Structure 1
Amino acid sequence: MPTLDLALPPHAHDQQSLNTVRAGRLLDSLLQTRATSVSLVEGLSDADCTVQSMPDASPAKWHLAHTTWFFEEFILSPHLPGYRVFDPAFRYLFNSYYDTIGPRHPRPQRGLLTRPTLEQISAFRDHVDAALLKLPLDAAPASLLELGLHHEQQHQELLLTDLLHLFAQNPLHPAYRPLPGPLPAERTPVALRWIRFPGGLTEIGHDGEGFAFDNEGPRHRVWLGDFALAHRPVCNADWLDFMADDGYATPTLWLADGWRWVQEHGVRAPAYWQAHDDGFYTETMTLHGLQPLLPQAPVCHVSFYEADAYARWAGARLPTEFEWEAAAGRQAPTAPAQLADHPWRLPLAMGAAPEGDLHDLWGGVWEWTASAYLPYPGFRPAPGAVGEYNGKFMSGQMVLRGGSCATPPGHLRPTYRNFFYPHQRWQFTGLRLAR
C-alpha cells in the first residue's frame, strides 16, 4: 500500500486516505469477481471447457484465459515493476480483437486449443491474481481496474450463454446445473397493459457518477414524443399465438433481411425450442437441461428480426433505446430482478412490481430496441488499444437494454448499452412492445 505523507494538510491527507480505501475496496471487488468466474466452471470437464460450438461463441476455457490476459496486458505488464509474464505465447492465443496489440489466434478456431489445459489456465489465473495483490494501489489507474472488473463480468455472462449453446447441440440435453427445485407452476400470463410516459427534451447517457463504459456517453439531450411501453415483456404464450397465426410464414411482417434469414435458415421458432412429432413446441433447452415451456415466462432467444416481426404482427413496435432509458430511469436495477445470482438459470416472470411500474425490466431477458448501435454525439474512443473496446463495433448492430438471468448483479445501469447483430439469438434476448 502507498505510504501516506503525514506532512500533507488535513484535507489533502483525508483525500489521500479516502482514495486508498476506495482503491482497496476496488481490488477486493475485483478479486471476488475473479473468484466468481472460476466458480462458474466448477464441475465441468476439460472437454466441456474446450469445445467451441460456433464462431460466435467461445470456449469457457478461453473466457477464463482472455479475462486474465486483459489484466496482464493492460495493468500488470505496464504498471507493476518486475512483473513476469506467465507465458509469452498467451499474448497471441488470448487476444480477442485488439489489433493495436498485434496478431491473434483466429476466433473461429478457439475450440481447437486443446492446449493449454484447463489446469494450466487455472495456474495462469492464480499467477495474475497473486500479482494483482502486489500491485501498489496507486500504481494503475482505478479506471483501468474498474474496466477490467466489468469486462470480466461481461465474459461471465458470455461464458454461460456459450455453454448453453454448446450443450444445446448435444442430443443428450445435458444440464449445466441441476434444477434448484420444482419448476414454477404454469399459469395464464397477466394480460398486457400499457404504461404511458410523457415526451419532451430528455437527458440520455451516463452522467459521470460511478463506472460506465465509454459507449454510454457523452450525456446529451434528445427529443421524445409521448410513448407507451407494455408493462411486461412478451411471453411464451404470446409467441405461440404469433406462430399459430403463421407469423414465420407471412412475408409482410418481416424486414427484407429478416425474411431472407428466416428462409435461408428455416427458422420456425425461437432458438432452443423443441418440437414434438405432432409439431407442437412444449419444451426448451436451458442451462438446467430440457425443460417445459412456461407460458408466463418471457420469450427468449429471439433475434432482432423476430422481435421486429412480432411487434408488427401485434400492431405495435419496438421501443427506441432512448424511450427505454427514459422509462427505466426511475426504476433501479434491484429486486425483483432475475440476474445471475438467482438460483434459476432460465428466464422467469418475476412480476411483483408496484402498480404503474414496468415489470421484469431488469434481468430475465435482454430487450431488443429499434435503435442501431451508433456513437452518441461527441463520442471519442480512448487512445490506444483500450479505445478498441466498443467504438470499432458501432456499425450494423442493434442495441439491447435491461440485462438477463445470466448478467452479474451490480453490472447494470439505466444507461447500459448492449449490442448484437440482428440475426444473433444465442444470448438471453427477448422484447417489450412500445407504441
Structure 2
Amino acid sequence: MKTDSLLKKTNPKTNWVEKYSEIRNHSVEICRPLEIEDYVVQPIVDVSPPKWHLGHTTWFFETFILQPNFPGYEVYDPQYNFVFNSYYETVGARVIRTDRGNLSRPSVSDIFKYREYVDEKMSRFLQSDYLTEPVQSLLELGLNHEQQHQELLLTDIKYILGHNPLFPAYKKESTSIKEKVRDSEMLSFSEGVYEIGFQGEGFCFDNELGRHKVYLNDFQISSHLINNDEYLEFMNAGGYQDFRHWHAEGWDWVKQNEAKSPLYWHFIDEKWMNYTLNGLQEIDLAEAVCHINFFEASAFASWKGKRLPTEAEWEVASGHFDWGKRWEWTNSAYLPYPGFKKEAGAVGEYNGKFMVNQTVLRGASVATPIDHSRNTYRNFFPTHLQWQFTGIRLAK
C-alpha cells in the first residue's frame, strides 16, 4: 500500500508573500509581552528559551528553502546551523537540547536581525520564478512548522513565568475557556468498520496519511471535557494516594514527584490557586482541567469507572462534540498508519523517528494557532509530561 507524500500538492492561488508574513509576524506578536530576560530562560529540558524558538524557525526557512533553492543566497551566519538545528541528524551537529538556555549569545537583538534578514530574502524568493511547486509544498511544511512552534512558545512561556516565584502575568486579559459544570452526556456509537486518516485537499503531516479502515466495538464518549470541579473531587477523594487507579509507571511518577495536583495548582491559604497566563488566580471550577499528563488522565478515568478513548474512537466521534480547547489524551500509542513511509533526507526526520514511547493526543488547544487544527491531527508526547495544554475526555 503506497502512502501519499508529506509534501502534498498546494493551492496554486495561495498568496505566499501574505501568508508567510502573517504567520511569521504572529511569532513576534506572541513574544511582544516578554521582558528581555524572559527570552533566555530554560527551566527544564522540555522547555526551550523563546529566543531559541525564534531562531530555530528562521533557520528552517534558511536551511531548507533559501540555501538549496535561491541562487546566490548568502547564509546569515554559518555558526547558526549548530545553534538552531533541533534534531535533524541529516543537517549536522547541534547544541544539545539541555544547553539551549546557556546561550547568552546570539543575543535577542541578534536573532531579531537574523529574522529580518531571512524574511527579506524570503520575500524576494517568494516573488521569483524559483518558487516551484515542490518548493511550495516544502514552504507550507515550514509555515506549519512555525505554527507548531507558536504553540510551543506559549506553552514554554507559561512554564517559564509560572515557575517564577512572583507568578508574573503574561497578559492581563482573560484567556480562560469555560466548560459547563456537570452538563455532560455520553454519546453512543455502534460497532462497525470506520475510516480514519486525512483525505482531501489541503495540508496535513505525514503521520496523518494512509487513510484506512478500523473496526470498533460499541463505545460511548463524553460530550464535554472534564472540568476543575470534577477533577478536584478526584483529588479530595484521595486520587493521588490510591495506587489502584494508576499504571505502575504512573504510580512511580506520583511518588518520585510527590504529585498532588495538576501542574500550576498551588494550595495557598486553604484554597487552590492556579497559575494562568493572566497570573495567579483562584481555581475556576467551571474551567476545563488543564496541564495533566497521561498518568493523571488515565487514573482519573479509572476512578470514574471509565477509560480514555482510543484515537480512532476520538476521530470517528469528533464531529459530534466540540473540541479544540485542550489537547486530549487518548489511550493509543503513537504508531505509523498502514503504508507509512518516511521521506528521504531531513524532511523524513520530522515525525517518523518519534514513533516509539509516545502517546497520541487529539484535537487542539487554546494555544493552537488559528487554522492549524483538524480532526485527523496526531499530536504526541511522552506519558509523564504536563506542560502542554492537555485535558480529559472520558469514554467507556
Cα-to-partner distance string for 1:59-93 (whole Å, 9 max, x where unaligned): 00000000000000100000001011110000000
**Partner residue of 1:205?**
197
Cα-to-partner distance string for 1:112-162 (whole Å, 9 max, x where unaligned): 111111111111111111111111253452110110010000000000110
**Partner residue of 1:311?**
301
Question: Percent of aligned pairs with the same residue?
Answer: 48
For 1:22 and 1:35, locate their aligned partners in 2 and report how far apart those are by CA, in whole Å: 21
- Whether 1:403 aligns to 2:364 is yes
**Partner residue of 1:276?**
268
How well do the aligned residues superpose, as a CA RMSD in angstroms? Answer: 1.8
Q: CA deviation at 1:41?
A: 1.0
- Which of 120, 126, 149 in structure 2 is aligned with 1:155? 149
- Which of 168, 179, 190 in structure 2 is aligned with 1:174? 168
- Whether 1:93 aligns to 2:56 is no
For 2:26 and 2:100, locate their aligned partners in 1 and report how far apart those are by CA, in whole Å: 23
- Residues 345-356 of structure 1 correspond to what in structure 2 (within 5 A)? none
Q: Aligned with 1:248: secondary structure?
A: coil
For 1:381 and 1:213, locate their aligned partners in 2 and report how far apart those are by CA, in whole Å: 11
- Whether 1:133 aligns to 2:94 is no
Distance 1:20 1:261, change over 3 A: closer
- Residues 35-434 of structure 1 correspond to what in structure 2 (within 5 A)? 35-135=25-125, 136=128, 138-139=131-132, 141-180=135-174, 189-278=181-270, 280-281=271-272, 283-328=273-318, 330=319, 357-359=320-322, 361-362=323-324, 364-434=325-395
Q: CA deviation at 1:20?
A: 8.9
Q: Which residue identity lines up with residue 277 of structure 2 in the other structure?
A: L
Segments of structure 1 that go 5 or more residues without pairing to the other structure are: 1-18, 331-356
Distance 1:392 1:49, change over 3 A: same
For 1:45 and 1:401, locate their aligned partners in 2 and report how far apart those are by CA, in whole Å: 33
Alignment: residue pair count: 384
**Partner residue of 1:349?**
none
Q: CA deviation at 1:169?
A: 1.3
TM-score of the aligned structures, taking structure 1 as reference length? 0.85
Structure 1 stretches of at least 4 aligned residues deviating more than 4 Å after TM superposition? none
Distance 1:384 1:191, change over 3 A: same
Q: Is the 8 A contact 2:191 2:216 kept in 1?
A: yes
Q: CA deviation at 1:199?
A: 2.9
For 1:180 and 1:422, locate their aligned partners in 2 and report how far apart those are by CA, in whole Å: 29
TM-score of the aligned structures, taking structure 2 as reference length? 0.93
Q: CA deviation at 1:104?
A: 0.3
Q: Aligned with 1:274: secondary structure?
A: strand
**Partner residue of 1:30?**
20
For 1:188 and 1:96, locate their aligned partners in 2 and report how far apart those are by CA, in whole Å: 40
Q: Is the 8 A contact 2:31 2:50 kept in 1?
A: yes
Q: Is the 8 A contact 1:50 1:111 kept in 2?
A: yes
Q: Which residue identity lines up with residue 118 of structure 1 in the other structure?
A: V
Q: Which residue identity lines up with residue 173 of structure 1 in the other structure?
A: F
Q: CA deviation at 1:377?
A: 1.1
Cα-to-partner distance string for 1:343-397 (whole Å, 9 max, x where unaligned): xxxxxxxxxxxxxx424x12x2110000001111110011101100000000001
Q: Aligned with 1:406: secondary structure?
A: coil
For 1:187 and 1:198, locate their aligned partners in 2 and report how far apart those are by CA, in whole Å: 27
Q: CA deviation at 1:208?
A: 4.3
For 2:20 and 2:363, locate their aligned partners in 1 and report how far apart those are by CA, in whole Å: 23
Q: Aligned with 2:89: secondary structure?
A: coil
Rg larger for: 1
Q: Aligned with 1:367: secondary structure?
A: strand
Q: Is the 8 A contact 1:365 1:404 kept in 2?
A: yes
Q: CA deviation at 1:53?
A: 1.3
Cα-to-partner distance string for 1:154-178 (whole Å, 9 max, x where unaligned): 0000001101111111111001111
Q: Which residue identity lines up with residue 156 of structure 1 in the other structure?
A: Q
Q: CA deviation at 1:217?
A: 1.3
Segments of structure 2 that go 5 or more residues without pairing to the other structure are: 1-9
Q: Aligned with 2:376: secondary structure?
A: coil
For 2:122 and 2:165, locate their aligned partners in 1 and report how far apart those are by CA, in whole Å: 42
